[in-house]
Amino acid sequence: MRQMVMSETLWSALLRYRETGTLPAARLRAEAGWQLYAPLVAHGAERVAVAQVGQSLDGRVATPAGDARDISGADGIGHLHRMRAMCDAVIVGVGTVIADDPSLSVRAVPGRSPVRVVVDCNATMPAGAQMLRDDGTPVLLIRAADAPASHARGTDEIRLPRGPAGLCPAAILSALAARGLTSVLVEGGARTIARFLEARLLQHLHVAVAPLIIGSGPTGLSLAPVERLAQAHRPEISTYDLGSDMLFDCRLAEATPAAAATRRTRSDEHRPEA
């Protein structure tokens, strides 16, 4: 297990790497924070898709009544906001918007907020959602081609064909990449994350565990059932002590576009060091 210590120097180096691709000195690339966050960045034609779940010790992400705001501690929230700052776009399902009304900003850290992307298949996005009146960061709605006409103030939309299970996760990522949004964080809810995971489109799944037991309530993932443990996902993991929370960085080897920054930061030594 590695202790996560994020200095201003390292965070500035990560932000510069995100914007310019410039690698910092080797001593910074050896730090836990670099190993954790640099793989979230995409440059050029590369694509990176990662997901984040913040949960209790017993795997809950909210109480049965829907209270989810204080599950992650301060360090878990800081981690989530750093993930957002490293990515071009953050995806949530419209159910998460309705239930939690998130802003999806990077309030807890310096950096640029990602484009907010809402998978809103049937055009049910609430007109009063917090993200629509937050800080001016673009909001992009992904809707079925046959969904009712609706255009929420301050948003743009992408129309995609409706399939038997709704909108295709691969088509969503391709549509975002066509707009230059190639590094994507899938943040919720449970079924939205599961659809990207089951489609083998994620390179990393971050599971942040907070030291509390809720006892009942919704879980952070909702995957199709398996009959045998041999069918379960068994990713390679690295663990990080964030402080208030414990983080499992699950590397999903089956994901197909797996080139991104971990491999690049080990081989791109021709780029200038800061």
Q: Does residue 9 belong to any structural domain of this protein?
A: no
Split into its structural domains, the chain has a count of: 1
pLDDT of 265 reads 41
Q: Average pLDDT of the chain?
A: 89
Residue 180 dihedral angles phi and psi, to the nearest 5°: 85, 10
pLDDT of 192 reads 95
pLDDT of 134 reads 67
Residue 195 in contact with residue 186, Cβ under 8 Å? Answer: no
pLDDT of 20 reads 95
Q: Does residue 225 belong to any structural domain of this protein?
A: yes
pLDDT of 220 reads 87
Q: Does residue 260 belong to any structural domain of this protein?
A: no
Q: Does residue 126 belong to any structural domain of this protein?
A: yes
Per-residue pLDDT of the chain (274 residues; tens, 9 = 90+): 999 999 999 999 999 999 999 999 999 999 999 999 999 999 888 999 999 999 999 999 999 998 887 799 999 999 999 999 999 999 999 999 998 999 999 999 999 999 999 999 999 999 889 998 866 789 999 999 999 987 777 789 999 999 988 899 999 999 999 999 999 999 988 999 999 999 999 999 999 999 999 999 999 888 889 899 998 888 999 999 999 999 999 999 654 443 333 344 433 433 444 4
Q: Does residue 8 belong to any structural domain of this protein?
A: no
Q: Does residue 84 belong to any structural domain of this protein?
A: yes
Q: Domain of 245: which CATH number?
A: 3.40.430.10
pLDDT of 198 reads 92
Q: Tens digit of pLDDT for each residue in 103-128?
A: 999 999 999 999 999 999 999 999 88
pLDDT of 256 reads 44
CA distances for 56 relative to 5, 79, 212, 235, 250, angstroms: 22, 16, 5, 20, 17
The pTM assigned to this predicted structure is 0.89
Q: Does residue 259 belong to any structural domain of this protein?
A: no
Task: Give the structural domain span for 69.
Answer: 45-253
Question: What secondary structure letter does DSSP report for 229?
Answer: G
Q: Does residue 266 belong to any structural domain of this protein?
A: no
pLDDT of 253 reads 62
Residue 86 falls in which region: left (phi positive, over 0), alpha (psi -120 to 50) or beta: alpha
- Closest-CA residue to 121 (of 139, 95, 98): 95
